[in-house]
Amino acid sequence: MRALALLCVLLGALGSPCLASSGDEAPEYRGCLYHCVEGSGGRGQVHSPLCVPGDGDQGSAAPPIILRWTAWTCETDCGYLCMWAVEGPEVRAALQQPTPRHPTPWRPTPPPHAHAAQKYHGKWPFTRWLGLQEPLSSVASLLNAAAHARALRALWRAGRRGGPPYLAHCLLSLAAWLASAAFHARDTRVTERADYFLAGAVVALGVYVTALRTLRCVGAAAPRRRAALGAVLGVAYLARVHAMLTRRFDYGGWVVACLALGLLQTLLWLRWAWWTREGATHPSRRSLLVFIASLNAASLLEVLDFPPLLWHTLDAHAVWHLATIPLWALWYRFVLLDLQAGQVMWSLPLDSAGEDKEL
């Protein structure tokens, strides 16, 4: 659950199409973009196959279908091509020679290396593969989603024995990672908001499930307490989403909210694992603690924020996504053993569960 809190933080660090950076503010980039979109570039200028030729050339080849399928437009494709025209010295040199009007969509204008890389619209320059804007981050998000999908079957079987909250969190996590994959594949207004809001929903639900599990919301007053906690978290989440959609898309505020909820989640689990008798004797306590420690260690990769390596596809964010894939096995090992041990307290009456005792 802590991972999705970190996911919100990392999404905030990615930036947004509306954010200005040194690269997209550069005069050479702006000039290139203008001529490409307007189709007014002459010999040696960047041309996008998705733009209508300004010279009325009727013999031009049809735009690559892979770019259409991945929702590239004239403006976004020109932005990609001009970004590499500025970043790649070999590409800049090639602009002085006649260039094909329709570059191949599989690896269009890939420079061998980046030099003094700048960010464009809040992001490092990436080489797209098969139309994917950040290919490794997108694939890594799909692999994270697959880890949750793999656990669904076992959680589904355990759902009748106190597992519905865990199951709901797993399903929402799966949806959030799929949204993350779509966002990294193509950064658009729709994919960006789906990514942010689903990640935030997982964090809020994670706090709810963690509080129910670690604070032992049982007894006669438990239904009212669970309903009150769910209402507070739900209203706070919806109010925040409404404000971001109707006022200003406040990336910084969203990150702060996710950080606060993620920290609360971590503290609740650590308190339960270290200072309660139930947590200290739990059969999968070690898996939970290793999961929390490993995830926090992996999150430090984001601090590096280095330009993409490995053909301009592997940045710190992609490394972080790749590092989280094997960690889900630890989390779901804890969850399944928790259910098998019959120690899930949110559905048990107080007289059968007993009072939790501090060590």
> How do residues 314-324 score in pLDDT, each as one tens digit?
888 889 899 99
Instruction: Output 146 or 49, whichever has higher pLDDT.
Output: 146
At 324, phi and psi to the nearest 5?
-80, -15
CA separation for the pair 3, 204 (Å, rounded) = 12
Averaging pLDDT over each range in 38-42, 89-93, 110-114, 230-234, which range is the top one? Answer: 230-234
pLDDT bin (cut points 50, 70, 90) of residue 97 is: very low
Q: What is the average per-residue pLDDT within 87-95?
A: 51
CA separation for the pair 288, 179 (Å, rounded) = 26
pLDDT at 110 over 60: no
Bridge partners (DSSP) listed for residue 358:
276
pLDDT at 112 over 70: no
State percent of the chain over pLDDT 70: 73
Averaging pLDDT over each range in 7-16, 91-100, 155-164, 259-268, which range is the top one? Answer: 259-268
pTM, whole model, 2 decimals? 0.79
Residues 193-198: contacts with CB under 8 Å, at least 24 apart: 193/245, 195/11, 196/8, 196/11, 196/12, 196/244, 196/254, 197/241, 198/172
Q: What is residue 146's predicted lDDT score, i.e. its pLDDT?
A: 95
At 275, phi and psi to the nearest 5?
-120, 15
Q: pLDDT (tens digit, 9 = 90+) per residue, 35-66?
A: 888 876 555 577 888 886 544 444 455 677 88
pLDDT bin (cut points 50, 70, 90) of residue 231 is: very high
Instruction: Output 82 or 359, whichever has higher pLDDT.
Output: 82
Q: For the chain, what is the mean pLDDT?
A: 77
Can you tell me which residue has the tokens 């609740």?
268
Instruction: Output 2 or 216, whichever has higher pLDDT.
Output: 216
Residue ranges of domains in the chain: 22-95, 128-341
Q: What is the DSSP string of 54-90?
A: TT--TTPPPPPHHHHHTT--HHHHHHHHHHHHHH-HH
Q: What is the average per-residue pLDDT within 129-147?
A: 93
One CATH from 2.30.30, 3.40.1000, 1.10.3470, 1.20.1070 for 128-341: 1.20.1070
Q: pLDDT (tens digit, 9 = 90+) per residue, 161-219?
A: 567 888 899 999 999 999 999 999 998 889 999 999 999 999 999 999 999 888 876 55
Q: Which two tokens stand for residue 20?
A: 């200005």
SS3 294: helix
Q: What is residue 218's predicted lDDT score, i.e. its pLDDT?
A: 54
Q: What is residue 159's predicted lDDT score, i.e. its pLDDT?
A: 62
Q: What is residue 195's predicted lDDT score, i.e. its pLDDT?
A: 92
- How crowded is residue 250: how many other Cβ atoms within 10 Å of its Cβ? 14
Q: pLDDT (tens digit, 9 = 90+) per residue, 335-347?
A: 988 888 765 555 4
